[in-house]
Every structure is written in structure tokens, then in C-alpha cells.
Structure 1
Amino acid sequence: MIWLLVVSLLICIPIVNAGETAPAEMSSSETPPVEIKVLPKVDESLSNPRQTMNTFLSAMQAVSEGKKQQISTAVSTLALDNINELIRKDKGKELVQILSSVIERSKKVVLSSIDTNPKVGRYVFGTYSQGKVEIVKQIDGRWLFSKETISDLPSILEGLLIDPAKHGAKDPQKSLPFHIRLRAKMPEVLKGGFLLEYWQWIGLFIIIFIASLADKIVSWSLARNVKNWKQKFHALKEMDDTVLRPLGLMAMALIWWLGLKNLGLPSSALVILSIAVKLLVSLSFVWSAFRLVDILDLVLMNKARLTSNKFDDLFVPMIRKTLKVFVAVIGFIFIANNLNVNVSSLLAGLGIGGLAFAFASKDLIGNLLGSVTVLLDRPFSIGDWIVVGDVEGTVEDVGFRSTRIRTFYNSLITLPNGLLTNTKIDNMGERRYRRMKTMLNLTYDTSPEKIDAFCEGVRALIRLHPYMRKDYYEVYFNAYNSASLDILIYVFWATPDWNMELRERHRFLLDILRLSKQLGVEFAYPTQTLYLKQNPDEVEAVAELFKPSMTEAESFAVGQKEAEAIFDVTLGKGVIPGPVKFP
């Protein structure tokens, strides 16, 4: 995973260089603008050398008593303008410990002897061969330990390490930073080197080796645990063995982070390396959190599949996406904080540009509100067969911005959620029944008795089939077609999906075909029949009913008489049938 550190370095070097770029010199012909600054009121604790020294000593005393938060007060007494902002906080904590040790090894501090208003603008606490410890008045009126003192402190302390403490801690060696104590024990041959001292190069190698080894051990251990979890829990069966791999990367990055802080690297190297490692820690944290969200989603989706309610199938993916957005935002803030980006100012800038952003992203906001509407109104669920405009297919996924529909020719269509709020949605998956309407064309030589028997046989099949609606169906002789006698079949299926509907329709139509074979009913197709010979007896019988000299009234009488005879047989005069009742 060394390549990840290299990538982080390439990202961080431009950031560091941008922060250290010197401002362009002003042309001699340009007149500098007159700038009037109103200096803020100086804090009483830093108003003069005595107060600054008292503030520092009191804060360090509190730190030694366990009040670690007071170290920031001690850091406030140092002029850290020459230290890069990216490491100023960590470097300041290290420098106050060094300064405290230097003061303890120098002399007892008598606050009353410190001039509160030196005329030269500086108070010198001590002079050493390596430099001075002095408090200097700043432009803003504060009295701080000078920049020169800050840069000379490590050298001054190195010259005093063999001296016992004259005031303060009984064992000042314990309060020193680890890298100073470690360097004091190193032989002189390891204190030389190029760019870094030899012992620091060795320390870097050891840290990288231990971190890489920890990455391999953690990754192997987690992969083994995942395999065991997959055997014990059915919900995790689909999980990849390496799903927790980012946690190994995080362990490696944390070891690098802790190790670099204890090597006492020069500021130029520490800026780049520490920020690169912090960025790597942040990225590994976000990656690990994403993987944990995937595991949670896997468990919740498995539980959702076991329920009959489809709402959770739609809700669980929304939970996954919401958590990932939340993790991304937290990761962004964490990374920005490590890079010393003022998050508050950034958020304030977003607030100022909020109106312009709203106009520019009205479609995005509309889609987001559309996803909320889909979630609350629930016009469809995952797996439903829907028709939206000219789009027809099954719902595959509902996101914050769009809904994905898999068509029946297997393409994937993405619809913006904003479109779903003002478009008609036909949810075929929510049908209680699936209708079937068809016409059976019988030949014209089919007798009325066969038609009656056939229609009743089809009704019996409907009543016998388990997935057909029994309280409403229609099977009747419906029309005279040009080449057939048409029987209307109007039925409903109580099947949950299309596959089952097709299976039951197949079974029902085959049963009708078997019934027609049993009753001798033939299905018609467009034909023309040529009569070559007629039955003389039938022609003579019909001719006796009709005579050429018959009047219109006589013809009407013949038709009425024959119709009444047929009706007396089929129903009977005065009989009024009631409504259709289903058995």
C-alpha cells in the first residue's frame, strides 16, 4: 500500500507549496494603497512580558497536573508565524514542552523581576551559545516568545540536556518529547545524514515495515472472520471476503501517523508527510465506513426479502444511500479540518451562494423532492411492473435523483424522480386481477345445442381452475362474424405475477381445446363454401311456408309464428330471467 502514500504526497505537495508562495513584488512605479488597520484589544494574559511568562508557566503547571487542555494556552504564548499552518498545532504542543524544559534547566523564574514595559520592546530570559530565550512585542501589541527563540529551542535544549532541573519538574526528562529523548540516546554517528539524520531514516523504515505488517495481519484476520460470519449468518452469504480490507489500510495509516509524530522530522518534511498520512487516514476512514454501510445494507435487504411488505424493499436502498452521503460529508469535513481549511467560512460561503445554487440546481432539488414523494406516497415498489408514458418495465432501483426501470427487452431506462411527481404512473404490479378477453370463432355449421353445451363447459372450467376469479366471468355467444360464430370469453386471473399468469392461461386454453374435441365443436377460419347440390326435401319444406303471392303482412305473420315457437322451447312466454348469478 506504499503507492497510496505516494499518491497522497503528490496531492499534498501543491497544497503546501501554495501556502508558502511568496507574494509578488510591487512595481516601483505603483503607489502602495494606504491601509488603515484597527488593532484588536490585547488579551491581558499577553499584555506584557511578565503576564506572558506567568501565562506560560501557569498553563504548563496545569498540564503537568493532568489538565491537558491547558496546553493550548501555553501554545498561545509562542510566535508561530514561521511554522506552516498545516502542522502549527502539533508543532506548537511539541515546542511548549521544549521551552518548559529549557526554562526548568536555566534558572528559577522570578515574575516580579520581569519588567512589564521594556523600552527596547523585548525581554531576554536567558542567553545561550545556541541562541536566546526572549519575549518580544508583536505588531498587534501582544508579547510572545520570539520567532528566533522558537527556531533555536531544539539546539538550546540539546546543550542543556545534561544539566539537572533548577526549578519546576523533579524529572524534566519525562516531559520532553519522545524524539528528543530518543535522539539523546543515539550515538553521534547516527546524528549525521542527508536531508534527515540517519536514525530518522532508520525510524522511517521501521515505521513503514511495522505499518505494512499490521495491514497484512489485520486484513488477513478480518477476511478469516468474514468467512466464519458467512457460514453462521445466512444474510451475509453474498458478502465478499475482502469487504473489511479498508480497516487494514486504516491501521497502517494510523501507525504511520503516530510514528511520524515521534521522529522529530524537520518542518519542511513533516508538513508533507504528516498531511499526506492524515489524508490517507481520512480516505481509509471514509472507505471503511462505506464498506460497513454495505454490510448493514446486506443485512437489512435480507430481512426485507423475508417480509411480504414491499415498502422496506424501497426504503432500505434509500437508507444505504443516505448513510453514504452522510459518511462522505463527514469525511469531507474531516479532511478539510486536517488541511486547515476553515469549514465555517466554507459553509458560510455556500450560504451566500445558496440562492444562485438553487436556481442552477432546481432540477436536482426537484428530483430529490421527487424521491421523497416516491418514498412517502409509494406509487410503486421494487420489482413492480409499471408504465410511465412510453416506458414500460420493472422497477429495479430508486435513488435520490432517478429511478431505474428494466424494460422487457432488457434495456435499462433512467427516469428523473422529478418527472414521476407530475406524470401518470400505471402500476401493473398492483393489479388484484389480470384480465383476459378473447373471442372463440366457431364454424357456422355448429348447432345451437352444441354452442350451449360448449359455453357451459367453458364456465365449468373457469369454476374449476384454482387461479381464476369465480365471482365474475362472462362466456356467451356474442356475435355473427363473416366466417364464424363468435363466443366471448371474459375472465380474470388472481395470479401475483406475469409468469404465473402465462402458465395458467396456457393450461386454461388447452382445457378449452380438449373440451371442443370432446363435444365435436370446430373452430372457424376465414373460408368460402361452394354448394354444388341442395337437399330437395329441405327446399320443398321451406317453399311451403312462402308463396310468391304472399303479402307483407302474411310474411310478418310467418316469421312471428316461428319465433314464438322457438321462444316457447328455449325460455317460455312471460318468463323474465333474473340477474346473472355465479355459482
Structure 2
Amino acid sequence: MSLSTLFRRLTKVVLPTIAACVAFNTPAQVPMPGTPAAQPTEAAPVRTEPDPRFNSPRASLTTFFNAANALVNGQNDPGIDDTLADLFGLETIERVSAPDLARKLLGIFNRIGEYPVDRLPNADQVARSGIGRYTILPDSTFRSPSYKAVMEAYPEGVIELERRTDGTWIFSKATKDNIVDFYTAVVALDHVVDVDETKGNLALQLESKLPEWIREGEMLGIANWRWAGLALTILIGL
């Protein structure tokens, strides 16, 4: 038998034996008693602060007055309409009605007088109190004749802000749904604030001069008198 053949045979026998011995004598890795198994870690959720323009009743009403007055003064900025639509909680196609609602809500305030925005709670006060709704009107602390005239003209009138889950404050649905009727009821009253909400809006200027019985009522969010005007325009064009 040659030396090389002998070496190959020894290799086939000896090496597996050595490997088996090593495996047998290597202790298994057993976790220590009481040691919890490693768990995958999850990233901590990122906390986002609400938009500072809408983070409290005070901020939202201030934002409304700024945007509505900019609208009336003819500032051509698409962001104004978006801001107002957000304040009214309008979605999709409803958003086009934001400027009209804003003008009418501003008109209601204009017949009451300068509203003291600073009396509304700010973000810190909201955080401490935990409130989720703030009523602006009716307000029993108002004593002015103009306020009394507005509320007598439309006793069911309400203007309130409510907090959404993201921490922003918008006008409540009751407020939004009430604006048209509220404005119709008080439009004949004198302005106390020297701001004309109809400025630059021919349709609203016409509406403010119509008798109340014509202004009342709407269909699909559009005043009945406007539907009548549209029908008349179509007939004239035929």
C-alpha cells in the first residue's frame, strides 16, 4: 500500500471523529433564567402639533377675521379660500362656497361690533382646561344694543368653534348650516363695524337689497332667488 493511499484512508476516518468530538463538547447556548427574549423595537410615534392658525378658539377666530377681511379687500390669493374652507370644515365640491359663507359670517359680526378676540382661550388655556367646544354667540355678557338687535332678529343664531381630533379648531356644523339664514335675518340691520362684506361681490350686493321673502330659502346650497335669476338668464338667452 502506498503512503498516499494510507494518508487518504486515515483522513476519512480521523477527521469526522475529531469533528464529532468537538461538537459533543461544545456547550449549547441556553438563555439565562428570567432573561426576556429580545423583542423587535418600534419607532416612537412622531407627535405633530396642530396648525398654529387653528390651534385654539382665539387663533381660529383671528385667522377667520384676517382671511375674511382680506377677501373683502380684494386680495387675490388662493390660499385665502383654502384657509376659509378649512375653517368651515368643507370638503371637495363644498369648498367653493367658503368665500360666500365667510362674507356672510363677517356680515353678522359687522352688525354686532368689534368682537374682542382676546377673550377667547388660547392654546395654553385650551390645554389646561381640556375644552372641546367654545360658543361665541349667543353670549349673555354682551349688553350692546347692536348685539341685542342681532339676536332678536334671529334668536336661534349660533356661532361656535369645536376641536377636531388633530387639535385644530373649526366652526361647528351647526354654525356652518346656520350662516345663510342668520345673515338673511340680520342683513337689513345697520353695520356697526365700517366694513362692507358685499364689497366686490355683485351677487351679494343684490341679495342684501332684496326683500326678505325673496332672500329666504335655498336648494342644493344655492339661494332660491339665484336659481330664479339663472332660469331668467337662460330664458332671455333663448
TM-score of Structure 1 vs Structure 2, range by shorter chain: 0.5 to 0.7
Unaligned runs of 5+ in 2: 1-44, 139-150
Q: Report if the CA contact (8 A) 2:188-2:208 is conserved.
A: no
Q: Normalising by structure 1, what TM-score?
A: 0.26
Separation (CA, whole Å) in 1 of partners of 2:81 and 2:215: 32
Change (3 A) 1:180 1:140: farther
SS of structure 1 residue aligned to 2:199 = helix
1:142-541 equivalences in 2 (<5 Å):
142-169=168-195, 171-174=196-199, 178=203, 181-182=206-207, 184-186=209-211, 188=213, 199-200=225-226, 202-212=228-238
Separation (CA, whole Å) in 2 of partners of 1:150 and 1:135: 10
Q: Report if the CA contact (8 A) 1:97-1:175 is conserved.
A: no
Q: Normalising by structure 2, what TM-score?
A: 0.59
Separation (CA, whole Å) in 2 of partners of 1:185 and 1:198: 12
- Determine the structure 2 residue equivalent to 1:59: 67
AA aligned to 1:206 is: L
- Determine the structure 2 residue equivalent to 1:46: 54
Q: Deviations over 1:486-511 (max 9, x none)?
A: xxxxxxxxxxxxxxxxxxxxxxxxxx
Separation (CA, whole Å) in 2 of partners of 1:52 and 1:181: 30
By how many angstroms is 1:207 displaced? 2.2
Separation (CA, whole Å) in 2 of partners of 1:177 and 1:150: 22
By how many angstroms is 1:202 displaced? 3.4
Q: Deviations over 1:66-122 (max 9, x none)?
A: 3221333233222225xxx22x22111211111111121123122221122264312
Separation (CA, whole Å) in 2 of partners of 1:190 and 1:47: 36
Q: Report if the CA contact (8 A) 1:165-1:172 is conserved.
A: no
SS of structure 2 residue aligned to 1:41 = coil
Q: Deviations over 1:167-224 (max 9, x none)?
A: 250x344366715733741473785799997745532321222444xxxxxxxxxxxx
Identity score, percent: 21
AA aligned to 2:58 is: R
Q: Report if the CA contact (8 A) 2:52-2:59 is conserved.
A: yes
Change (3 A) 1:144 1:194: closer
- Determine the structure 2 residue equivalent to 1:124: 135
Q: Report if the CA contact (8 A) 1:52-1:77 is conserved.
A: yes
Unaligned runs of 5+ in 1: 1-36, 213-583
Q: Deviations over 1:214-256 (max 9, x none)?
A: xxxxxxxxxxxxxxxxxxxxxxxxxxxxxxxxxxxxxxxxxxx
Separation (CA, whole Å) in 1 of partners of 2:72 and 2:206: 18
SS of structure 2 residue aligned to 1:46 = coil
Q: Deviations over 1:250-291 (max 9, x none)?
A: xxxxxxxxxxxxxxxxxxxxxxxxxxxxxxxxxxxxxxxxxx
1:97-112 equivalences in 2 (<5 Å):
97-112=103-118
Q: Report if the CA contact (8 A) 1:131-1:156 is conserved.
A: yes
Report the structure number with the largest CA radius of gyration: 1
Separation (CA, whole Å) in 2 of partners of 1:187 and 1:58: 29
Q: Report if the CA contact (8 A) 2:72-2:199 is conserved.
A: no
Change (3 A) 1:122 1:186: same
Q: Of the two structures, which has the highest relative contact order with CA contacts closer than 8 Å and spacing of 6 or more? A: 2
Separation (CA, whole Å) in 2 of partners of 1:162 and 1:202: 22
In the alignment of these two chains, the number of paired residues is 171
SS of structure 1 residue aligned to 2:167 = coil
SS of structure 2 residue aligned to 1:106 = coil
Separation (CA, whole Å) in 1 of partners of 2:218 and 2:73: 39
Separation (CA, whole Å) in 2 of partners of 1:76 and 1:110: 22
Separation (CA, whole Å) in 2 of partners of 1:76 and 1:193: 23
Change (3 A) 1:185 1:112: same
- Determine the structure 1 residue equivalent to 2:83: 73
Change (3 A) 1:198 1:44: closer
1:141 aligns with 2:141: no
Change (3 A) 1:194 1:71: closer
Separation (CA, whole Å) in 1 of partners of 2:218 and 2:49: 47
Separation (CA, whole Å) in 2 of partners of 1:97 and 1:71: 11
Change (3 A) 1:165 1:121: same
Separation (CA, whole Å) in 2 of partners of 1:194 and 1:63: 25
Aligned equivalent of 2:120, options 114, 118, 130: 114
Change (3 A) 1:115 1:187: closer
AA aligned to 2:206 is: R
AA aligned to 2:84 is: A
By how many angstroms is 1:144 displaced? 0.6
Bigger strand fraction: 1
- Determine the structure 2 residue equivalent to 1:495: none
